Amino acid sequence: MTAPTEPGVVIVGAGPAGIRAAETLTAAGLRPTVIDEGARAGGQIYRRPPEGFTRPPTTLYGSQAGKAVALHAAFDGLAAAGRIVHLPRHSVVALADGTLHAVGDSGSRRIGYDRLILATGATDRLAPVPGWQAPGVYSLGAMQIALKAQGVAMGRRIVLAGSGPLLTLLATQLLKAGAEIAAVLDTAGMRGQIAAFADLAVRPSFALQGLAMRARLGRLYHAGIAMEGIEATETGVTAIRWTDAGGRVQRTACDAVGLGWHLKAETQLADLAGCRFDYDETWAQWLPRADRMGRAGNGVYLAGDGLRLLGADGAEVAGRLAAAACLSDLGLQAPDVAADLKRLGRLERFARGIARAFPWPADQVRALPDDAVLCRCEGVTAGAVRETAAYGGAEVNRVKSLGRAGMGRCQGRYCQLAAADLIAASGGLAHAGDVGRLRAQAPVRPTPVRAFLEEE
């Protein structure tokens, strides 16, 4: 008698969601393949430095060190015992009809799957600021990765600007590590932050930690500011200009600027996998459609920040839920999910509070001067996008085809939300969601032709 073939489950991403999904599947006796871009599992928020670095987890992850260590240990244990197939340093660049293309240093390989769990995480959500193409401007996430994984500050005198939990957290971490912070500029006003407090208080320890960090920043922190522009010479940033809550224009000298407005879900693979999307007003972005468990249909499951922007704790919960849904759809014994579903509800309420407290700066984007660069990849200006939308129509994919916004090497990851605002304004539409959704195209990462010639 031959044993039935074990169903092939592939997990993309080895952050908190992917790790908990892998753990849940292996507990049921499956041996999933986990494909991840990182050299070591952990994802971005629990990113590990290379081998040979010596700072302890408490230095790297602060109050979240216990969670980071537990996740790393869980994954390393599964990998060492051969209970998963781990493909580190591989990018999934395309997928269709139950086959995906994973590209690594040694070429491309095709991997078949019966079920697919996408735990692709998020990137920083960026709004353009005039001058942001200058060397020395980074995303807030970039500055945090540099500190965690390399032990470096991205400049000698740093300004952090934008909004969201990472703004305060990163400022605190950089100061603690010995970096010089010149200012922390928050486009969210105090009034909105206070209004959202009822939702934030569902996770009291997180909310209090945030307030304590904010208090320690003291006079470095400015709420309710408006960005004016970043000044630079050929070698890089020299200052940032901003208007304070009282309407006074300020100029802060610096050699590095970190920018970010919370997170943007990384959804390209979900798009290629055929997921439907809905525009989410709270998050001001398109998010893939799935049920409470993360079931998106056709054997595809979504988990973590690539589905709902709940942060690392929410990603762990979502990873377990997606794997449980996958197991039960395969007719296998799935763990009880009642407690996780309850946690999910609480985390969602907190996350929506965060989204309201630190909103996307739509007014700043719509007020961008015509000569401001919108697309960093190809230098497409705000004026060019307005002009293209005026003659081509207020639809993001048309503006991409005709005017190249979203056509560049990042494939619109960092300009598409701002472009949608400009296109909506140009078309007289109130909502960025009314101008359509930028379609993902394979390969979702630039891939050398060599990778396909040297297929393993």
Smallest separation, CB 449 to other proteins (Å): 11
SS3 259: strand
Q: Which is nearer to other proteins, 317 or 377 (CB)?
A: 377
Smallest separation, CB 69 to other proteins (Å): 18
Question: Residue 393 corresponds to which tokens in the numbers above?
Answer: 């129509």
* Rg of the Cα atoms in the chain: 22
Smallest separation, CB 422 to other proteins (Å): 18
Smallest separation, CB 191 to other proteins (Å): 31
Query: What CA–CA distance (Å, rounded) separates 159 from 30?
Result: 48
Smallest separation, CB 383 to other proteins (Å): 14
State phi, psi for 71 to the nearest 5 degrees.
-65, -45
Residue type, 335: P
Query: What CA–CA distance (Å, rounded) separates 361 from 340?
Result: 33
Residue type, 176: K
Q: Which is nearer to other proteins, 260 or 353 (CB)?
A: 260
Q: Which is nearer to other proteins, 244 or 378 (CB)?
A: 378
Q: Which is nearer to other proteins, 66 or 135 (CB)?
A: 135
Q: Which is nearer to other proteins, 25 or 87 (CB)?
A: 87
The angle at the Cα of 371, spanning 366 to 372, to the nearest 5 degrees, equals 60
Q: Which is nearer to other proteins, 142 or 429 (CB)?
A: 142
Residue with the two structure tokens 């952990």: 42
Query: What CA–CA distance (Å, rounded) separates 237 from 240?
Result: 8
Question: What interhelical angle do 382-392 and 396-403 show, nearest 10?
Answer: 110
Closest CA to 18 of 363, 288, 294, 360: 294
- 111 sits in the region (left: phi over 0; alpha: psi -120 to 50; else beta) called beta
Exposed, middle or buried: residue 75 (CB in 10 Å: 0-12, 13-18, 19+)? Answer: buried
The angle at the Cα of 165, spanning 360 to 12, to the nearest 5 degrees, equals 85
Query: What CA–CA distance (Å, rounded) separates 240 from 160?
Result: 10
Q: Which is nearer to other proteins, 182 or 200 (CB)?
A: 182
Q: Which is nearer to other proteins, 5 or 54 (CB)?
A: 54
Smallest separation, CB 439 to other proteins (Å): 18
274 within 8 A of 443, measured Cβ to Cβ: no
Query: What CA–CA distance (Å, rounded) separates 360 from 188?
Result: 9
Smallest separation, CB 82 to other proteins (Å): 26
Smallest separation, CB 330 to other proteins (Å): 32
Q: Which is nearer to other proteins, 63 or 150 (CB)?
A: 150
Query: What CA–CA distance (Å, rounded) separates 246 from 249?
Result: 9
Q: Which is nearer to other proteins, 89 or 346 (CB)?
A: 89
Chain residues in the site for other proteins (CB under 8 A): 37, 39, 44, 49-55, 59, 91, 123-124, 133-139, 141-142, 145-147, 150-156, 177-179, 232, 234-236, 255-256, 266, 373, 376-379, 409-410, 413-414, 445-446, 448, 450
Smallest separation, CB 373 to other proteins (Å): 7
Smallest separation, CB 141 to other proteins (Å): 6
Q: Which is nearer to other proteins, 55 or 251 (CB)?
A: 55
Residue with the two structure tokens 């591989």: 90
Closest CA to 134 of 237, 252, 238: 237
Smallest separation, CB 114 to other proteins (Å): 28
The angle at the Cα of 333, spanning 330 to 334, to the nearest 5 degrees, equals 90
